[in-house]
Amino acid sequence: MGGLSPKHRVLLSSDLNTISDDTAVVSTQDANSFDATGQLDFGTTYYWRVDEANNTTGWDEGSVWSFTTEAYSYPLTSLTAEASVEQSTSPASRTIDGSGLDESDQHGVELKNMWVTPGGLPAWIQYTFDREYMLDELWVWNANSELELFMGFGAKAVVVEYSTDGQTWTALENVPEFAQGTGTASYTPNNIIDFSGVTAKYVRLTVNTTWGATGMASLSEVRFYFVPVQA
């Protein structure tokens, strides 16, 4: 080895370019293992390479490998929906059945794929999970019909509450005003509500105002994310 030491260098990064240009060196060592504790984030793809010391060229480059760390939170799929009022062709269940969504999470403009009320505010929609979960986020696709920008069915001022028993409710703090849907078939969720790890089996959204004056309220789709922990 011509006195060159240590024998290996480890490159690790979520940016493939920094592996290619040799700027992602995180360790030079003799050991045959590397502890990446403290350097990895949830839900991220990392690239890595191990080079071998060479007394002529300096380093013989290894192959580039990759791995993806587990997500911090996951979509919650075992839930039901009910509402204070709904149109028969646009029930509350439309917000959790994936109707209207494509593989890129873009929502279409068909009212039959959304929850729509016949009128009258406030109006609430409630979700019940199969058990208690530690909630991370709630993604909301607001109302998204072709008339949305003119009629404003989408929720605007919304009170979000959660409960473990369906009887005692706690209002989630710092809920922002809901952004309006785009009224296009390429609409992706533009409302992400942070639950900060609260434990709940029930979540209720009460729509107090919408983006228009019709009194009709609507949501296209919602998706809850939970942190997979057990007591």
Residues β-bridged to residue 154:
218
Q: Are 45 and 34 in contact (CB under 8 A)?
A: no
Closest CA to 47 of 73, 70, 15, 25: 15
User: What's the one-letter identity of residue 98?
Assistant: G
Domain ranges in the chain? 8-68, 74-227
Residues β-bridged to residue 139:
192, 223
| Chain segment 121-148, per-residue pLDDT in tens | 999 999 999 999 999 999 999 999 999 9
User: What pLDDT, on the 0 to 100 scale, is given for residue 5?
Assistant: 63
Centre a 10 Å sphere on the Cβ of residue 175 and count the other Cβ atoms it contains: 17
142 burial type by CB count under 10 A (0-12 exposed, 13-18 middle, 19+ buried): buried
Phi, psi of 183 (to 5 degrees): 70, 25
User: What pLDDT, on the 0 to 100 scale, is given for residue 1?
Assistant: 40
User: What pLDDT, on the 0 to 100 scale, is given for residue 230?
Assistant: 60
Determine the length of the chain: 231
- Sites in the chain below the pLDDT cut of 70: 1-5, 230-231
Question: What is this structure's pTM?
Answer: 0.84
91 to 58, 120, 174: CA distances (angstroms): 67, 16, 28
Residues β-bridged to residue 25:
11
User: What's the one-letter identity of residue 52?
Assistant: E
CATH number of 74-227: 2.60.120.260
User: What pLDDT, on the 0 to 100 scale, is given for residue 81?
Assistant: 98
